[in-house]
């Protein structure tokens, strides 16, 4: 069970309940209200077991929005059927770009978070120079440099996925440089690869 999708689906259902899109009749007598932590835990258990209203929630926000006839409403926060994470694309437009173009929907791991690119002296930005990412970028602006960096980092992370490497181990998200990543790969495989 995905924590992001589960939480966003429960929040979506709460908003639909509060807006009158669904009623107690739809929820099996449950009053869906924000702020009730015990209720959220109960709904999570019900969803995991597909019991009662949990069986409905297990379908996710996009399917429920279609079922309830509100798929075009702003309360349905999904991209390609996947619920969006908490990272707000209005203040991290590169992350928003990732939400929009990812082949499988909104995912906060498909794009570098824009604040990583704001400080020229940061380890993160310095580490990306081998990829041709040289200059700081404002978090709320989409520029040619930001689009180019997205494409280059997307290639890097898909390569790391294919190699079974953790993106939190190496720059820009991790503590080791890309040179260390290449050296480690060569040491394990006997290859003589370059970045």
Q: What is the mean pLDDT of residues 20-36?
A: 96
Cα separation of 192 and 185, whole Å? 9
* pLDDT over threshold 90, residue 20: yes
State the pLDDT at residue 114: 86
Q: Which fold has domain 3-83?
A: 1.10.569
State the pLDDT at residue 103: 87
Confidence band (pLDDT; 50, 70, 90) for 172? confident
Closest CA to 172 of 110, 126, 105: 126
According to DSSP, the β-strands at 82-83 and 78-79 are antiparallel
Cβ 136 vs Cβ 117: under 8 Å: yes
Q: Quick: pLDDT tens for 34-71.
A: 999 999 999 999 999 999 999 999 999 999 999 999 99
Closest CA to 7 of 40, 39, 55: 40
Q: What is the mean pLDDT of residues 103-107?
A: 88
Cα separation of 164 and 103, whole Å? 20
Residue 115 tokens read as: 């604040």
What are the structural domain ranges in the chain? 3-83, 93-165
């Amino acid at each position: 069970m995905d924590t992001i999708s589960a939480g966003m689906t429960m929040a979506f259902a709460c908003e639909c309940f509060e807006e009158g899109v669904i009623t107690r009749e739809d929820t099996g007598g449950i009053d869906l209200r924000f702020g009730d932590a015990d209720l959220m835990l109960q709904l999570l258990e019900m969803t995991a077991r597909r019991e009662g209203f949990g069986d409905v929630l297990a379908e996710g926000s996009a399917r429920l929005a279609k079922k309830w006839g509100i798929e075009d409403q702003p309360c349905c926060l999904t991209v390609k059927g996947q619920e969006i994470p908490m990272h707000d694309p209005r203040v991290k437009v590169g992350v928003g770009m990732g939400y929009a173009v990812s082949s499988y929907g909104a995912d906060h791991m498909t794009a570098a978070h824009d604040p990583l690119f704001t400080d020229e002296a940061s380890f993160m930005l310095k580490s990306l120079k081998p990829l041709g990412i040289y200059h700081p970028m404002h978090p709320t602006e989409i520029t040619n440099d930001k689009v180019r960096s997205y494409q280059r980092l997307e290639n890097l992370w898909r390569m790391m996925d294919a190699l079974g490497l953790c993106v939190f181990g190496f720059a820009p998200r991790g503590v080791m440089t890309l040179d260390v990543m290449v050296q480690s790969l060569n040491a394990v495989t006997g290859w003589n690869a370059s970045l």
